[in-house]
Structure 1
Amino acid sequence: MNVELLIRNGLLFDGSGAPARQADVLIDHGRVVKIEANSSARGQREIDAAGQWVLPGIIDIHTHYDAEVEAAPGLLESLQHGVTSLVFGNCSLSLAIGDADDMIDLFARVENLPRETLARWLDGKVTWRTPGEYYEHLEQLNLGPNIASFIGHSNLRMAVLGKDRSLTPSTLNWGEKNSLRSLLHEALDAGFLGLSIDMLQWHRWKGAKYNGASSPSHYASFAEFRMLADVLRQRGRILQATPDAGRKYMVPLLASLSHGIGRPSLRMSMLTSLDFTNNRRLGPLTRSLAALINQGLRGNLRFQSLSVPFELWSDGCNTPVFEEMQASACLMNADSAAQRQLLYRDSDWRKQLRREWLSTFGASFHKDLALMRVVACPDQSLVGATFAEIAQRRGQTGVDSFIDLISEFDESIRWHAVIANDRPAELRRFLQNPHIQLGFSDAGAHNRNMAFQNSHLWFLRDCLLNADAMPMEKAVWRVTGELADWFGLEAGHLREGHMADVLVLDPEALKTDLSGPQETTDANFDGAMRMVTRSGKTVRQVIVGGQVVLDQGQVHAEFEQRRFGRLLRCQHQRGVSA
């Protein structure tokens, strides 16, 4: 037998959770045609994977590449870490329908992306008018990895209600309800995974008239969420949900939509179960809630989680966690340093920020100045010190010193904090929970604030090096086959007849070569800084649809000149469960 590509001598993890085995993988016309030991076949190209692991390409279930894919469809920042399939359209935001300017206003602040860059990426490209036309557009892009998408609830609301009504609380009439349902059905017919909704008040709009308003999905009633969830349940599709961190009572109410007592269960993927430094009880509570819904009420609820520490870098007041307080959100509303200076000099504003900072009620961010460290500043004497240490030097209270510092340096004082997952043993333990989905990289968003693009490799590394972690075959399954089956994606498995999305990985390099977030410049961001991760020589080859897209760090000569990845239209329908 002659085939296009043959991977020899590797240790195969097939994505099913079965123990690894030595095997050769034969690939032809984009599919795995045979898996066997010591194959006598010949390949037009052969990869000797002796000493390497061969596994399905990684699946990243929570990204925000919706806009970036228009400018850089190869999505190299994820592909180079072995991600061959990724999902965007999360948190109620997508490009599936809507006016380009409105979509820029949606993404710019929620995802902390420069408005000018978004405008350049989308300039003249938004020609589609329906979800089906959007998917036909995606079919034409020169993709690196495979992509799938949710349709954003914020976009649905704007399309049906118009911008003004979608950004204010309002009661829907029968015609509007029917239009929302019909538009969602249209998206599901096109193959969207489902619907993403967002209750988080500090996901805000960036635009002149409604600057600082929450995203449109936030203004929906719970009855509206329930109505749209019924459509998803009817069609066997997914609700991706981002609840409001400030109204934690909404989490169990939202989770209850998944229950399957007397009706089909609803697949729901919710943000998020983390080991928050500010509240160690939240993570266990979310996992207990999922167990109750799934085991006691026959639901199908999963909480997304991050497999690395949740590290955040912030430029003075420019940080997602500042959206949580009204006073600091006012700083985010300002369009210039001059406008922010007016607030900094306002005594009433300073009192309000001090009061909100010291309040712990409903807070997600720990606001512990001893855990917030300056990493860059025009005053070099401050670099490396925590805000608490600087306050002690100055003889001030911590919060007053902090307010003074951001007033003085504005966005030029850069600081670092860990929000969650700072205890390795606890993280290792809860990632084994069956109600957790590994994902939530947020790749493509918050590019100055965080970088988790290789978090799945850190997870595999931890399982390789620690005896109390899960077996490697199960760890591989958790970031491949488990996610593919639950989301209804043609991906995540190495089986005969299946599409050949493959990662060839060096386990020795995995032990040593991974790096955490670091700063680099990016031409796609007009030379501005973005945070990235690096994986050294860990990733040997990345194969998408039977084609070697990345080979020992080098992209294919025709990368972004022709199509490698494909659009993954949802395979689940009513009556299909996973």
Structure 2
Amino acid sequence: MHADILLRGGDIVDGTGAPRRRGDVAITDDRITATGDLSDWTAGRDIDCTGRIVAPGFIDPHVHHDEIVLTDPGMDCMLSQGVTTIINGNCGFSIAPLTATGPLPQPLGMILSNDAPRFATYAAYRDRLRADPPAVNTACLIGHGTLRINEVANLDRPADRDEIAVMARALDAALSEGGIGLSTGPFYPPARASTTGELTEMARVAQAHGKLYVTHMRDEGDRVIEALDETFQIGRDACCGVHVSHHKCAGLANHGLSETTLAMIDRAMQTQDVGLDTTPWTASSTMLNSGRHRQASRVIVADSTPHPEMAGRDLADIAAGWGTDIDTAMERLLPATGIFFIMDEGDVRRILAYEHTIICSDGIARGSHPHPRVWGTFPRVLGHYVRDAGVFDLETAIRRMTSMPADRFGLRDRGRIAEGTYADAVIFDAATIREANDYAHPTRPAEGIDLVFVNGRESWRSGVHSGARAGVVL
């Protein structure tokens, strides 16, 4: 038998959670054609993977790279950490369908620049990506907040019946054109006035397509329990699967509350379809004027439009230098994004260790000083939380990054090293993999990643992008 590429002698961690096994992997065109002892096979190219882990390419189910895949299609921040598939359109904000004109309200303006291409339909965005593909596979949720910006003239009130009907038709069309689910963000101003009933009507459209309701809940801090109850109610009333994005217990007063929230999720899972993901960091990142600065022990300015020179500096230091209070300094920096130290390490570990948790980065790559999660999330899990802290074993961690998100979001034939699946693969050194970046130097690439393949094409080797842009729209 002959293959295009043979990955020989590596320790295969296949993404299912099964124990690693020594073996070979054959790749022909964009598919894995065989695994196991392939010593009698030949190949156009043999790659010795002895002493290395061969795993499925990592799937990041929660990013905000809707525009970046167009403007920076090499996607070094993803490939360099072994990510081969991303899901955009999260927290209620997607690049399409966007028909609103003029400056974009936050946080959509944090994800998209005002001169970004506007796509009135999801099909137009999909076709642009097919014509000019990025280096990673992409899928996209359809944002309720974006639909609201399109249709609701006054975002400070609930949508009326006619506006909900128009939004539902637009969502139905976008899901028919390939959007993989609905995302909502009632935490954010454009959707904060939405009622539970409005969100439920949107979820019913997603359910009709057999797709998920994915939510940045109304509150992740003092009212996180009420927000979970609302999410579960929406799922029950719409008969729709619900997925809690980047689950956290934000704010000093809520540290330790994950014991309660995870127990709530456990109980809900007994009677309805519920899922969740999380990030391996004690700091979050969003628009600077989100209110989270009041819950945080420290705030770093990630980016500021009027004061780009302040990126990377602590908000408290900026305020002191300007001789003003923090709130006044924040207003002067807007529009801006921030990094907020609001979580407890114990909660982070507890949520990571929870058996149903999927790993995500929640990355926003725009700006000069992003959160280090943009470049370091997946190596951080494999290095710090697996190798150093022992929160779970390598096989479990890789399952949380591969087959679990693939299955949860319906990404067929992804997330596994198995005959017939797409040849998305990452080869890395389990002894050295780690995030090489930090809050002071957030864009340093990870260490320990040898090779990354996307649809059978070598895309990253030992810190260097191959130039391949082999991603497809899922």
* TM bucket normalised to smaller: 0.7 to 0.9
Deviation at 1:273, TM superposition (A): 2.4
The superposition leaves residues 403-427 of structure 1 with CA deviations (integer Å, 9 ceiling, x where unpaired) of 289769966xx9986321434xx53
1:461 corresponding residue in structure 2: 383
**Pairing 1:242–2:216 present:** yes
1:492 corresponding residue in structure 2: 415
2:309 corresponding residue in structure 1: none
CA distance in 1, matches of 2:20, 2:264: 34
- Match of 2:399, as an amino acid? W
Pick from 242, 254, 259 the counterpart of residue 279 of structure 1.
Answer: 254
- Match of 1:256, as an amino acid? Q
Deviation at 1:68, TM superposition (A): 1.5
1:353 corresponding residue in structure 2: none
Deviation at 1:460, TM superposition (A): 1.2
* 3-state SS of 2:433 partner: helix
CA distance in 2, matches of 1:185, 1:241: 18
CA distance in 1, matches of 2:294, 2:328: 18
When residues 286 and 321 of structure 1 are mapped into structure 2, their CA distance, relative to the original with a 3 A threshold, is farther
1:525 corresponding residue in structure 2: none
CA distance in 1, matches of 2:22, 2:277: 32
Deviation at 1:110, TM superposition (A): 5.2
Deviation at 1:220, TM superposition (A): 2.2
Q: Does structure 2 conserve the Cα–Cα contact (< 8 Å) formed by 1:241 and 1:268?
A: yes
1:15 corresponding residue in structure 2: 15
2:307 corresponding residue in structure 1: none
How many aligned positions are there? 457
Pick from 437, 454, 458 the counterpart of residue 515 of structure 1.
Answer: 437
CA distance in 2, matches of 1:264, 1:408: 42
* 3-state SS of 2:415 partner: coil
Deviation at 1:221, TM superposition (A): 2.2
- Match of 2:197, as an amino acid? A
Q: Does structure 2 conserve the Cα–Cα contact (< 8 Å) formed by 1:517 and 1:533?
A: no
CA distance in 2, matches of 1:253, 1:408: 31
The superposition leaves residues 464-523 of structure 1 with CA deviations (integer Å, 9 ceiling, x where unpaired) of 424742221111101111111111113211110110000010123216x6332444xxxx
Q: Does structure 1 conserve the Cα–Cα contact (< 8 Å) formed by 2:96 and 2:122?
A: yes
1:35 corresponding residue in structure 2: 35
When residues 168 and 27 of structure 1 are mapped into structure 2, their CA distance, relative to the original with a 3 A threshold, is same
Pick from 446, 452, 456 the counterpart of residue 542 of structure 1.
Answer: 452
Contiguous gaps of at least 5 residues in structure 1: 204-213, 313-318, 325-362, 376-382, 392-399, 520-530, 569-578
Deviation at 1:299, TM superposition (A): 1.4
The superposition leaves residues 186-237 of structure 1 with CA deviations (integer Å, 9 ceiling, x where unpaired) of 122122111111111xx3xxxxxxxxxx22x333222111111122223221
Contiguous gaps of at least 5 residues in structure 2: 303-311
CA distance in 1, matches of 2:338, 2:170: 43
Deviation at 1:133, TM superposition (A): 2.6
**Pairing 1:146–2:137 present:** yes
1:210 corresponding residue in structure 2: none
Deviation at 1:442, TM superposition (A): 2.4
Cα root mean square deviation, aligned? 3.5
Deviation at 1:321, TM superposition (A): 4.9
**Pairing 1:258–2:235 present:** yes
CA distance in 2, matches of 1:131, 1:478: 29
**Pairing 1:320–2:294 present:** no
Pick from 341, 357, 365 the counterpart of residue 418 of structure 1.
Answer: 341
Q: Does structure 1 conserve the Cα–Cα contact (< 8 Å) formed by 2:6 and 2:46?
A: yes
1:131 corresponding residue in structure 2: 122
**Pairing 1:292–2:267 present:** yes
CA distance in 2, matches of 1:510, 1:408: 37
CA distance in 2, matches of 1:288, 1:372: 30
CA distance in 2, matches of 1:482, 1:408: 39
Q: Does structure 1 conserve the Cα–Cα contact (< 8 Å) formed by 2:296 and 2:342?
A: no
The superposition leaves residues 367-398 of structure 1 with CA deviations (integer Å, 9 ceiling, x where unpaired) of 54xx56999xxxxxxx999969x99xxxxxxx
CA distance in 1, matches of 2:91, 2:313: 34
When residues 257 and 543 of structure 1 are mapped into structure 2, their CA distance, relative to the original with a 3 A threshold, is same
CA distance in 1, matches of 2:57, 2:184: 28
When residues 404 and 186 of structure 1 are mapped into structure 2, their CA distance, relative to the original with a 3 A threshold, is closer
CA distance in 1, matches of 2:231, 2:327: 40
When residues 136 and 495 of structure 1 are mapped into structure 2, their CA distance, relative to the original with a 3 A threshold, is same
When residues 179 and 462 of structure 1 are mapped into structure 2, their CA distance, relative to the original with a 3 A threshold, is same
Pick from 277, 286, 311 the counterpart of residue 304 of structure 1.
Answer: 277
CA distance in 1, matches of 2:100, 2:453: 34
- Match of 1:14, as an amino acid? D
Deviation at 1:81, TM superposition (A): 0.8
TM-score by length of structure 1 reads 0.71
Pick from 434, 445, 450 the counterpart of residue 371 of structure 2.
Answer: 450
Structure with the largest fraction of helix = 1
- Match of 2:211, as an amino acid? R
* 3-state SS of 2:353 partner: coil
**Pairing 1:472–2:377 present:** no
1:169 corresponding residue in structure 2: 157
- Match of 1:130, as an amino acid? T
* 3-state SS of 1:70 partner: helix
- Match of 2:233, as an amino acid? S
- Match of 2:12, as an amino acid? L
Q: Does structure 1 conserve the Cα–Cα contact (< 8 Å) formed by 2:134 and 2:470?
A: yes
CA distance in 2, matches of 1:385, 1:33: 51
482-491 or 300-309, larger mean C-alpha shift: 300-309
The superposition leaves residues 62-106 of structure 1 with CA deviations (integer Å, 9 ceiling, x where unpaired) of 11111112211222111111100001101111111224745x614
TM-score by length of structure 2 reads 0.85
Listed as ranges, the matches of 1:46-61 within 5 Å are: 46-61=46-61
- Match of 1:137, as an amino acid? R
